[in-house]
A = this chain, B = another copy of it.
């Protein structure tokens, strides 16, 4: 009983600090593939909502997209690490993202006791995209964020709903694009004036010399983050770039967090040291 009480009492200052603040959370690829991982993260999201934070959740698609494309017999060419996405593929991608992962997350959160509403960028046309340029041309229905109109997201939050975002946008001619979910989360965080952007990923955060545990960094200023960006490799490059962009456009802190560590979200938000890497101006 005593541990119960003391945990509650310890959480007071963090609850005070982030109450009524908007927090955009990106739920990453392989996490989205594990029902158990999702459940643990969703439980954390429910608690953060209950103590007064305003959550916006953005999800990716990860392995489920690959599995579906395989099953439908759609082969994929890759250019510069990006899947070239043709007309047949984007139809399947959108169905998986908006019709399956998004609806499942929405249902789970509603069952958890908060009121979630799933949207993609097509709803109210809030997410405008342009073709992503790789090398000399575009790669089909893969896009980049060109504009975010936060009106619908704000309306839903004002009505007490938690928006769950599928990273699908379109251009002015109505062409559909699959967009990197980190980039969507970052652009949404900027547009709604979020306090925090939390990027859930598969690694613990930033290492100066990956994977040496001694080189792990808990907290980074903006200048330092830019320096480290010169040395990190692989998937950490776009993550860190995304984080730096968000900070520079006004988001207060960005967190890189290992979503597969149970309840890492609670620990990161409700303690000083945290468990991942926090980047601030």
Contact = CB atoms under 8 A, between A and B. Distances in A.
Nearest to A151: B159
A83 interface: no
A111 to B, nearest CB: 5
A124 B96 contact: no
Contacts of A253: none
Contacts of A108: 174
A79 interface: no
A151 B103 CA distance: 19
A268 B270 CA distance: 24
The interface centre, meaning the residue of A8, A13, A111 with most chain B CB atoms within 10 A of its CB, is A8
A11 B12 contact: no
Given A1-B267, A99-B99, A100-B99, A124 B115 contact: yes
A170 interface: yes
Contacts of A47: 8-9, 12, 15
Given A4-B7, A52-B51, A95-B99, A176 B16 contact: no
A37 to B, nearest CB: 15
Interface residues of A, number: 64
Contact of A267 (B5, B51, B72, B115): B5
Contact of A161 (B52, B124, B161, B174): B124
A46 to B, nearest CB: 6
Contacts of A94: 99-100, 103
A271 B174 CA distance: 26
Nearest to A111: B174
A270 B8 contact: yes
Contacts of A106: 122-123
Interface in A37-53: 43, 46-47, 50-52
B15 A51 contact: yes
A159 B19 CA distance: 16
Contacts of A181: none
A8 B5 contact: no
A5 B268 CA distance: 11
A125 interface: yes
A113 interface: yes
Contacts of A52: 50-52
User: Nearest 7 pairs between A and B by C-beta?
Assistant: A99-B99, A7-B7, A95-B99, A95-B95, A3-B3, A110-B125, A117-B123
